[in-house]
Structure 1
Amino acid sequence: MNTNFLSLTLELFVGFFALLVMTKVLGKNQITQLTPFDFISALVLGELVGNAIYDKDIGLHYVLYAVVVWGTLIYVIEMITQKLRGSRPLLEGTPTLVISKGRIQYDALRKNKLDLDQLLHLLRDKGVFSIREVEYGVLETNGAINVLRKHPYEMPINRDLQMAPKSVEFPVLLILDGEIIPEGLVKLDKETAWLKNELFHLGIPGPSDVLYAEWLEGEGLEIQTY
C-alpha cells in the first residue's frame, strides 16, 4: 500500500480515537450542544483533527497536543460552571422570558437577536401554532424555546374528555413587525381596508403600531401591539 495511504489511515485512526476519548471525558453536552460555547468547542475539536489529516506541514503529535490542551480547557470550564453557580450566567448564558402572560416581550427578542419569524418557527417545533395558546415562553441557552400553555390549551387532551370531534383551523398571519402580510389577506379573501377598519374599532391607529396579528376561524383576531 502507498505510504501516503498508510499515513492517512494512521492519522484517521488516531484522530477518531482522540475525539472519542475527548467526547467521553467532556460528557454528552458536546454532542447535544447545550450552549453556543459547547457548539463552538465541538467544531474546534473537529477542525484540529481535520488539520492533522489534510495539512502535511502539521505533525500529528502537535495536533494531538492541541486537542488535549483544548479539551482540558473545556473540561476546566465545565468544572467551574458545575462548582460555581455564579459563573454560569457569564459562561453559559441565562434563559430569557420571551412571552410573559401571553404577551410577546419585544425587548427580550431584540436583546437576544431573535425576530418574530424565528420565534414562530421555534414555537411550531413545540407543536404551538398560535401565540394565543402560550402563557409563558422561555428561550433556553441552547436556542430552543419551551412553553407553558394557557389553561384551555393544556392537558388533558380532548380524547380523555370524550369530546366530539371538531375541525382544527390553522391561524392566518396578518401583521408582523408592523407590516401587513398580503398572503394572509388573500387566504381570508379580505382587503387591506378591512384589516385597518378592524384595527380602528379596537383603538389601534394602524398596522405600524401592531407587533403581531393573526386570524383564527371561530375566535377572530389576536392582536399584540408594541
Structure 2
Amino acid sequence: MPDWLSVFFRAILFVVILFLITKWLGKKQISQLSFFEYVTGITIGSIGAEVVTGLEQSISLGIIAIGTTAAIPFVVGVISLKSKAFRNFIEGKGSVFIKDGKILEDNLKKERYSTDELLELLRKKDVFQVADVEFAVLEATGDLNVLLKKENQPLTPKDLNMKVASTKEPQTVIMDGKILDEPLSTIGYSRGWLNTELEKLGVSLDNVFLGQVDSYGQLTVDLYDDKLQVPSPQEKPLLFANMKKCQADLEVFALSTMNEQAKTMYEKNSQKLQQAINKVEAILKN
C-alpha cells in the first residue's frame, strides 16, 4: 500500500477511535466543543507536532493526514444535516438532570456527575436551591440549562401587563475623539445635532473616547479623563415631568373655574393627557 494511502486510512481510524473514547468519557471532558471538534483539535495538533518533530517523516504525508482529519468533521456535518439519528449519535443529546423539581439520579450517574458537581453547575446559574428548579438539562456541549419554577422566575413587564417600547441597537457615533458620519446619518442626525448634545453635557469632542446614541436619541459618552463626571441625559425625565405638571394644572383649572363648560373641557383634556402619560411612562422613566 502506498504511504499516502496508509496515512489516509490511519487518520480516519484514529479519529474514529478518539471519538469513541471521548464519547465514552462523557460530556464532562468537553466544554463548548462538540465531540468531533474536540477530537479533531487533538488529532490535528498531535499530527502537526509529529511532523514538526519527526524530521525523518515526509512533510507531504503530514499535510495529507491533517487535510484528511480536517475534512472528516465537514463530511460528518453534511451527513448530520440530513440524518437526525446520525446527528444524535455524533453530537449527542441532552440529559435531563431535574424534572418537575426532582433530581434524576440515574441520569447523573450515566453522565458521571456527582451531586456536588450538579450543585456547582446550578450555582453558576445563580440557583442555590434545587427546590426552586422546575427543569434542568445538561446539553451535549456540557452546559446546564435551568428553568425555574414559575413562582421563582423574575417578574417581567408582561407579567405586570405593562407595555414596553421596543429598542434598537445603539449606534456608535464617536470613537477615539472622532465623529463617525455613517452611523450618525443612519439614525437621522447631523454633526450639528451631535455638537449641540455635547454642549449640553459640557464636554468637548476631543475628550470623548466613545459616544453612543440609543434608540430614544439620547447621547451617552465615555471620556478619556475618567475623573470627570458626565451628567446623565435629562430629556426624557424632563418631558415626563412637564407632562405630569400639565395634567396637574388641568385638574387645578377644572376645580377652580365656575364655568361648567370650561370645567368639562379641562376635565376631559386632563383625562386624555393622563392616558397619554400612562402609555409613555415606561419609556420616559427608563
Query: Identical aligned pairs, as a percentage?
Result: 30
Task: Give unmatched runs, 5+ long, in structure 1.
Answer: 1-31, 162-226
Aligned residue for 1:105?
104
CA drift at 1:79: 0.9
CA drift at 1:90: 1.2
Instruction: Give the number of the structure whose residues are more often strand, by fraction.
Output: 1
Task: State how far apart, in whole Å, the 2-side matches of 1:72 and 1:37 are.
Answer: 11
Aligned residue for 2:74?
75
AA aligned opposite 2:33? L
Aligned residue for 1:114?
113
AA aligned opposite 1:128? V
Listed one character per residue, the Cα deviations across residues 143-176 of structure 1 (whole Å, up to 9, x for unaligned) are: 111000111221227xx99xxxxxxxxxxxxxxx
Give the SS at the match of 1:135.
strand
2:124 aligned with 1:125, yes or no?
yes
Q: Flag the 1:69–1:150 CA change in 2: closer, same or farther, 3 A.
A: same
Give the SS at the match of 1:89.
helix
Listed one character per residue, the Cα deviations across residues 180-206 of structure 1 (whole Å, up to 9, x for unaligned) are: xxxxxxxxxxxxxxxxxxxxxxxxxxx
Contact 1:94 1:141 in 2 (8 A): yes
Q: Spell out the pairing of 1:27-66 with structure 2 (5 A cutoff).
A: 33-66=32-65
Contact 1:101 1:136 in 2 (8 A): yes
Q: Spell out the pairing of 1:1-226 with structure 2 (5 A cutoff).
A: 33-156=32-155
CA drift at 1:37: 3.0
Q: Flag the 1:106–1:140 CA change in 2: closer, same or farther, 3 A.
A: same
AA aligned opposite 1:141? A
Task: State how far apart, in whole Å, the 2-side matches of 1:118 and 1:79 are.
Answer: 35
Work out which of the two has the higher radius of gyration on C-alpha atoms and give 1 or 2: 2
Task: State how far apart, in whole Å, the 1-side matches of 2:58 and 2:32 are.
Answer: 29
Task: Give unmatched runs, 5+ long, in structure 2.
Answer: 1-30, 161-286
CA drift at 1:33: 4.0
Give the SS at the match of 2:93.
coil
Contact 2:47 2:62 in 1 (8 A): yes
AA aligned opposite 1:149? L
In the alignment of these two chains, the number of paired residues is 129
Listed one character per residue, the Cα deviations across residues 47-98 of structure 1 (whole Å, up to 9, x for unaligned) are: 2212222222222211111011111112111111112112112111111111
Give the SS at the match of 1:98.
strand
Give the SS at the match of 1:34.
coil
Give the SS at the match of 2:48.
helix
Task: State how far apart, in whole Å, the 1-side matches of 2:45 and 2:141 are.
Answer: 20
Contact 1:33 1:39 in 2 (8 A): no
Aligned residue for 1:201?
none
Contact 1:34 1:141 in 2 (8 A): no
Contact 2:98 2:136 in 1 (8 A): yes
CA drift at 1:142: 1.2
